[in-house]
Amino acid sequence: MDKLQLERAAALTAARYDHPPLAFVHSFGCQQNVSDGEHLKGLLAEMGFGFTDSAENADLVLFNTCAVRESAEDRVFGNVGALKNIKRERPELMIALCGCMMQRPEVAERIKKSFPYVDIVFGTGAMHRLPEFLIRRLEGGKRVFWDQPAKNVIEGIPAVREEGVKAWLPIMQGCNNFCTYCIVPYVRGREVSRAPERIEQEARELVGRGYREITLLGQNVNSYGRGLAKPYNFPELLRRLDRVEGEYRLRFMTSHPKDCTRELIDVIAQSRHVCRHIHLPVQSGSDRVVQAMNRHYHIDGYLELIAYAREKMPDVTFSSDIIVGFPGETREEFLETLALIKKVRYNALFTFIYSRRAGTPAAEMPDPVPAGEKSEWFRELLEVQQGICCELNEAMVGSVQRVLFDSPGKSGEGFLAGRTEGNVIVEAPGDRSLIGRFLPVKITRAMNWAMVGTILESR
């Protein structure tokens, strides 16, 4: 980072306000965005900002936006609209918008025309330029609009992470896959991987600072390393990180079945720290629909991978994303998805009714199934999955699980919440001082959304 620029931005900010300035940073959307938000906060902290959790108290409001769904975009426009009165009362308030949505030219154009009180707009590749944009605006320049995409990963951006047990660790940016329903490759650009040495260094720091669960982030972590000067792949990266000493867990998301290999499964099976839980989004159980989504795998191959993982790690758990009602999907094809779900028996599913995203190929495909019918399919799918979850949870009653407690629980006063290695939520009575500890828990009861148990030892 450019130190002089940070200092200049800090000086200009200090001169503008007669009190220590406060920023309100809000990230919409996925974990990648949450992680970006932590780095944006890191930059603001270097420029002298403290943080507040309301726009009313802030001297700078920064919305880190998400473009994945149209409804998410509408929410952002609503939130920006709500700032108008605050800016009228306090014209010195700075308003900045960034993230995926701002990478879309039509959105930037709308902000330019309809929201004249917004000061700074920049896309996903320009996070590190925030100090420069602030300087330009604070020195009395025009409103700043920047939409150049990222070409490489910028290292050394500081982060303000949530204190606690879990940390996000981005390993790459962008996506090369162009699934036909997804806007991400258009707004986040092509894949670029961080150097393994930098990732390892950051992982060591996080473990040293007491984080107990580190989640490696990328749109498709399985293709990590392509394009690096020295070829490196994701299983190698996991092996390298697994050698970091300490008491911690590693998770990763998101995987793409077309790039998920037996080598990766072998590494997970042999590792000390990588959780035996794989989020492997299949999206549909129909080969035809999967091809229409441009996903490049076949259901048979997917099932073989699952079988191989279960052979190597009988306790491995799986979760997936499912889209119901992709354009042109028939009832028979939907039934193939139901059959797949019954076969795999996922511990968790993230289910969505297809929602049209302008600018993607799927948005142009004929979509004859009425919304009401799709909702009915969706309800069926939830019912099937709920039944599977209940059975899987019931089967855990009586077992002892190693749980990492990370927060106060929801099932009663004095309860703690945590997760098993397989990513199942467990609640148990316990003192808050146990948050951040890995403890053996005897499972005594299954609920819809979590298991309840008793901590066996906490010394």
Judge whether 66 is annotated as a binding position.
yes
Min. distance of Cβ 323 from ligand SF4 in angstroms? 10
State yes or no: residue 177 binds ligand SF4 (CB under 6 A): yes
Site residues for ligand SF4, window 205-264 (CB under 6 A)?
219-220, 256
Judged by CB under 6 A, the residue of 178, 246, 386, 391 near ligand SF4 is 178
Stretch that binds ligand SF4, among 99-107, 174-182, 228-236, 414-422 (CB under 6 A): 174-182
> Measured from the CB atom, is 55 or 253 closer to ligand SF4?
253
- Based on the shown chain and the rule CB under 6 A, indicate whether residue 361 belongs to the binding site for ligand SF4: no
Residue 52 CB, nearest approach to ligand SF4 (Å): 32
The residue range among 25-33, 137-145, 175-183, 204-212 that interacts with ligand SF4, by the rule CB under 6 A, is: 175-183
Residue 279 binds to ligand SF4 (criterion: CB under 6 A)? no
x/- track of binding to ligand SF4 for residues 130-169 (CB under 6 A): ----------------------------------------
Q: Is 32 in the site for ligand SF4 (CB under 6 A)?
A: no
In the list 62, 182, 439, 443, the residue contacting ligand SF4 (rule: CB under 6 A) is 182
Residue 184 beta carbon to ligand SF4: minimum distance, rounded to whole angstroms: 4
Does residue 350 interact with ligand SF4 by CB under 6 A?
no
SS (H, E, C) the chain: CCHHHHHHHHHHHHHHCCCCCEEEEEECCCHHHHHHHHHHHHHHHHCCCEECCCHHHCCEEEEEECCCCHHHHHHHHHHHHCCHHHHHHCCCCEEEEEEHHHHCHHHHHHHHHHCCCCCEEECHHHHHHHHHHHHHHHCCCCCEEECCCCCCCCCCCCCCCCCCCEEEEECEECCCCCCCCCCHHHHHCCCEECCHHHHHHHHHHHHHCCCCEEEEECCCHHHCCCCCCCCCCHHHHHHHHHCCCCCCEEEEECCCHHHCCHHHHHHHHHCCCECCEEECCCECCCHHHHHHCCCCCCHHHHHHHHHHHHHHCCCCEEEEEEEECCCCCCHHHHHHHHHHHHHHCCCEEEEEECCCCCCCHHHHCCCCCCHHHHHHHHHHHHHHHHHHHHHHHHHHCCCEEEEEEEEECCCCCCEEEEECCCCCEEEEECCHHHCCCEEEEEEEEECCCCEEEEECCCC
Interface with ligand SF4 includes 184 (CB under 6 A)? yes
Asked if 172 touches ligand SF4 (CB under 6 A), the answer is no
The minimum distance between CB 297 and ligand SF4, in angstroms, equals 12
Using CB under 6 A as the binding rule, whether residue 369 contacts ligand SF4 is answered as no
Task: List interacting residues with ligand SF4 (CB under 6 A).
Answer: 175, 177-179, 182, 184-185, 219-220, 256
